Structure 1
Amino acid sequence: MRNLLNFRTASAPTAPVAALAALAAAVAVTAGIAAPVAAETHAADVVRTGQSISYKGISVRIPAAGEGVQAAAQSTSGEISLTVSRSADGSVVVKTDAERHTAQAAAPSTARANAAKTCTDSAYSLAGWKLNDFKWFYNPAGAPAAVAATAGSAISAATTSLTSACGQKSIGLAPAYVGQTAAAPQVGAAGNCTGNDGRNVTGWVAGSGRWLGMTCTYFKTVNGVKTATGTDTALNTQYKFFTTTANCDGAYDLQSVVLHERGHSLGLDHVDQTAHASAVMTPALSACTAGKRTLGLGDYAGLKAMYGTR
């Protein structure tokens, strides 16, 4: 289930519209904003504090008119996603993923779940924006010692894996590695998107919460078309990572995590964990599983729908 809440900025609370759930209306009034025009079961988990919207441990600042931001993550146990956009008239739309998926069994294996469906399951979900190009930087500062020497190669391999799958043509967008940078990814330790400097940086953060990797993507809407203007990915050093299964020991596959987060950067959303278990864009990842280093057919189909082929 996806939550969809509409807010309108105001100097004082306004009365809730008819037929809203009482809890959703209370949230809106407490926040000092108009009540949502639609609300679903997790409305109480969406909180506005000043100019920020938070949901289940992640948060973003309300963007300028005509712009939006998404915080999306792969976790150990389910969906984490928050998208906040603002229209020209000041309306603020909040979308979340209801947390209804559970992680796969954490058994050491190089095989992906439901591997037989990897190149037959064509399901995908789109966030609604696309990138015109994807030039990215890597900041190695803070990389865990166990993967510091190999992390750059694993991240590059994951990014390259975006381009094709299942014997299909390469998608029309070709990512390009620019080099290392001292700039940190603009993702805070608390799971918050901290800003958009226009650079696409992947790096390490000593984060709190249960996210393995988190991507903050900013986009703008012009003539009804949403285009990403910056996308940063943070890898959470609260967890252990591996690049070869020989040093798993309860750790998570760096390449699989990055490929998932790259999907968010390019405009893919999560798909159901159970129904589409072989997809990279399932929200949860098990420890010691290295089977999702390549796209499934559905992941590829979503990218092809946005970028075409070359």
Structure 2
Amino acid sequence: MRNLLPLRSALAPTTTVAAFAATAAVTAGFVTAFAAPVAVTAAPAVKLVAADAETNVAAVATDGTTIRYEGLSVRIPAAGEGVQAAAQSTSGDLSITVSRSADGSVVVKTDKHEHSVAQAASASTSRANSAKTCTDSAYQLAGWKLPSFTWYYNPAGTPAALSGTASSAITTATNALSTACGQRALGLATTNGGQTTAVPQVGTTGNCIGNDGRNVIGWVAGNGKWLGMTCTYYKTVNGNKTVTGTDTALNTQYKFFTSTANCSGAYDLQSVVLHERGHSLGLNHVDQTAHASAVMTPALSACSVGKRTLGLGDFQGLVAMYGTK
């Protein structure tokens, strides 16, 4: 099967969105009306450019400094820089990628997948279309690369049920990036830098709040409908997009498990982390129906541990960027 490659934006439509001017304030991602009108200083108009034919810039909103889409939000980056917010939920995946061109225009790509999955009461090791796990070579690239990948874990807020197992499960999931389906090891090494007090730069409502240059994974008491969310920042130099920081937050609003002994209504921590790591390293989603065995599909059923390892397409997408050892 042909690899899926990113769509070009040469034919993308453009639009101009003026800053919001209303008697409302945006607080934690939601609009709250004031009791009386207040003076609003208009921000400069922002020229939005759709990155591909599937992106409808009319579905995004901006106040001149921030781009918002379906509950996700990112600050508009400086020229030559970009950011992606990618959220994995119980009903699908959602992402927005925003970059700024040298001429000041803001390029936006949106990606939304919804699905319906059953809530299981007992663990299952089955994998959808498992026979294709090591034969389906499809992948989708985000367009950036990590120069290296040293990551840190902040255990603050770890759910009590996972206090003794979360760290090892996250490490195992990250190490699963290194190989798949008997292939040679990935050329990019993943290094566990140990624990840190630095927090993942992911807000509770599904917003990317900054880039401290460290690759941190940790727990956030989110109020959005997302299991895990990754914010990835990059710079474009001589046409190459290089990641400068990528953080992942795991939402304690939901129940996770590491042992299949008791998983009722919970989600496999390893599977969630491996999917989010794929985003950090530069993988985007592939079609759920055509490539159901891939880790980078949107669907993740409760109690399923079938996606603790990469499929062939997931791995070949990484190899296309990082090569093998």
1:145 match: 160
Match 1:90 to one of 93, 104, 115: 104
**Where do 4+ consecutive residues of structure 1 move more than 2 Å?**
1-12, 30-45, 103-108
Alignment-mate amino acid for residue 291 of structure 1: G
1:252 match: 267
Alignment-mate amino acid for residue 166 of structure 1: C
1:212 match: 227
**Kept after mapping to 1: 8 A contact 2:201/2:211:** yes
Alignment-mate amino acid for residue 77 of structure 2: P
2:93 match: 79
Deviation at 1:42, TM superposition (A): 4.3
The correspondence of residues 136-285 of structure 1 with structure 2, limited to 5 A, is 136-285=151-300
**Kept after mapping to 1: 8 A contact 2:72/2:206:** yes
1:55 match: 69
Task: Summarize deviations over 1:252-302 as a string: whole Å, max 9, x none.
Answer: 000000000000010000111111110000123111001100000000010
Task: Kindly indicate whether residue 83 of structure 2 is the aligned counterpart of residue 69 of structure 1.
Answer: yes
The percent identity for this pair of structures is 70
Alignment-mate amino acid for residue 163 of structure 2: A
**Kept after mapping to 2: 8 A contact 1:124/1:302:** yes
Gaps of 5+ in 1: 13-29
> How far apart, CA to CA, are the structure 2 residues paired with 1:145 and 1:257?
18
Task: Kindly indicate whether residue 166 of structure 2 is the aligned counterpart of residue 121 of structure 1.
Answer: no
Change (3 A) 1:168 1:262: same
TM-score by length of 1: 0.88
Change (3 A) 1:300 1:72: same
Gaps of 5+ in 2: 1-5, 21-42
**Kept after mapping to 2: 8 A contact 1:103/1:285:** no
Task: Summarize deviations over 1:88-112 as a string: whole Å, max 9, x none.
Answer: 221110000133x414444441111
Counterpart secondary structure, 1:187: coil
**Kept after mapping to 2: 8 A contact 1:68/1:83:** yes
Change (3 A) 1:204 1:92: same
Task: Summarize deviations over 1:127-177 as a string: whole Å, max 9, x none.
Answer: 000001000000000011111210000000000000100000011001000
What's the Cα RMSD here?
2.5
Change (3 A) 1:8 1:221: farther
Aligned residue pairs, count: 293
1:24 match: none
